[in-house]
């Protein structure tokens, strides 16, 4: 990569809130498979030991699926590259597409509150920037529709690589799309929430997507989501 492109990538990465970058020499984004397949999306071409920066570089100005046609910005992920906890949503909405940062709209504000308020109540010093937040697809689907199978398959490779690079202690899967992508489960979130699963060797907690919780009538799911988060935060931070 030439110096100018590298400078632009670094700037982009810093805009996402990533303050520390690690570049491991000799490992490119196109390296040989890291081995091991996720139960959801089948792995392709992840370089062993790669960093988030390597993955972002590989994504580049992505045109691998039709979602690139309507996007303003690629929404890669935000937060601590070494976070022990990663939240995975579905895909960017309008606010995220405009800013290039996941979960900054109404659902995102609810997610932030849920993380920070639950942690505070439980006596865990934790801010949004301490965790890592990303989505299954990195470009906004038109009209906020659910990502299609091929889009999830193509973009899910990058999600798998992000998780493999971060190696968190646990993953929180938000809603049905992320459940299908990471766990390959067809069952609804209502059945799966509050339970532990595994993505490779990493424990996964399933809970409701914050957009679902924003619907006024969803009082009980809201209470359940707080329970799920409590369980998750104690597992990760106790
Ligand atoms: N919904 C998601 O799934 N992800 C976002 O980033 C925002 C809303």
CATH of the domain at 82: 3.40.470.10
Residue 204, number of CB atoms within 10 A of its CB:
25
User: Within this chain, do residues 42 and 99 fall inside the same structural domain, yes or no?
Assistant: no
User: Within this chain, do residues 201 and 144 fall inside the same structural domain, yes or no?
Assistant: yes
Q: Is the CB of 177 under 6 A from ligand 1?
A: no
Measured in Å, residue 19 CA sits from the centre of ligand 1 at 22
> Which has the closest alpha carbon to 176: 140, 150, 152?
152
User: Within this chain, do residues 38 and 125 fall inside the same structural domain, yes or no?
Assistant: no
Q: Which pLDDT score, from 0 to 100, does residue 75 have?
A: 98
Q: Which residue is listed with tokens 């995220």?
A: 96
Q: Which pLDDT score, from 0 to 100, does residue 153 have?
A: 98
Q: Which pLDDT score, from 0 to 100, does residue 216 have?
A: 74
- CA 134 – CA 175 distance, rounded (Å): 13
Residue 214, number of CB atoms within 10 A of its CB:
13
Contact 77, 97 (CB under 8 A): no
Q: Which atom of ligand 1 is nearest to the CA of 210?
A: 1
What are the angstrom distances between the C-alpha of 88 and each of 2, 33, 69, 160, 179?
32, 22, 23, 11, 9
Q: Which pLDDT score, from 0 to 100, does residue 43 have?
A: 54
pLDDT digits (tens, 9 = 90+) for 97-142: 999 999 999 999 999 999 999 999 999 999 999 999 999 999 999 9
- CA 23 – CA 236 distance, rounded (Å): 27
Q: Which pLDDT score, from 0 to 100, does residue 27 have?
A: 30
pLDDT digits (tens, 9 = 90+) for 92-103: 999 999 999 999
Residue 57 lies inside a defined structural domain of this protein: no
Q: Is the CB of 81 under 6 A from ligand 1?
A: no
Residue 196 lies inside a defined structural domain of this protein: yes
Q: Is the CB of 93 under 6 A from ligand 1?
A: yes
Burial class (CB in 10 A: 0-12, 13-18, 19+), 145: exposed
User: Within this chain, do residues 97 and 211 fall inside the same structural domain, yes or no?
Assistant: yes
- CA 201 – CA 149 distance, rounded (Å): 24
Q: Is the CB of 135 under 6 A from ligand 1?
A: yes
Q: Which pLDDT score, from 0 to 100, does residue 45 have?
A: 53
Residue 54 lies inside a defined structural domain of this protein: no
**What does the DSSP assignment read for 46-61?**
PPTT--HHHHHHHHSS
Question: What total of structural domains would you count in the chain?
Answer: 2
> Which has the closest alpha carbon to 58: 40, 46, 73, 48?
46
Domain that holds residue 206: 62-237
User: Within this chain, do residues 44 and 75 fall inside the same structural domain, yes or no?
Assistant: no
Q: Residues in the chain with pLDDT < 70? A: 1-48
What are the angstrom distances between the C-alpha of 138 and each of 2, 59, 60, 207?
24, 10, 12, 21
């Amino acid at each position: 990569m030439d110096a100018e492109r590298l400078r632009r990538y670094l700037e982009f990465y810093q805009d996402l809130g990533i303050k520390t970058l690690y570049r491991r020499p000799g490992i490119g984004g196109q390296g040989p498979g890291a081995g091991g397949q996720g139960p959801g999306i089948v792995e392709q071409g992840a370089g062993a030991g790669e960093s988030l920066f390597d993955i972002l570089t590989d994504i580049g100005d992505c045109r691998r699926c039709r979602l690139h046609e309507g996007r303003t910005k690629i929404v890669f992920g935000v937060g601590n590259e070494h976070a022990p906890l990663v939240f995975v949503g579905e895909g960017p909405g309008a606010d995220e597409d405009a800013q290039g940062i996941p979960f900054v709209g109404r659902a995102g504000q609810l997610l932030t509150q849920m993380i920070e308020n639950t942690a505070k109540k439980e006596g865990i010093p934790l801010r949004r920037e301490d965790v890592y937040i990303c989505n299954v697809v990195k470009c906004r689907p038109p009209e906020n529709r659910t990502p299609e199978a091929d889009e999830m398959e193509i973009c899910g490779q990058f999600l798998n690589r992000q998780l493999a690079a971060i190696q968190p202690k646990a993953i929180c899967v938000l809603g049905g799309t992320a459940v299908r992508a990471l766990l390959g489960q067809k069952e609804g979130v209502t059945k799966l929430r509050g339970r532990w699963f595994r993505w490779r060797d990493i424990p996964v907690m399933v809970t409701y997507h914050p957009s679902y919780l924003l619907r006024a009538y969803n009082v009980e799911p809201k209470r359940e989501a707080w329970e799920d988060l409590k369980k998750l935060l104690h597992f990760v931070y106790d």
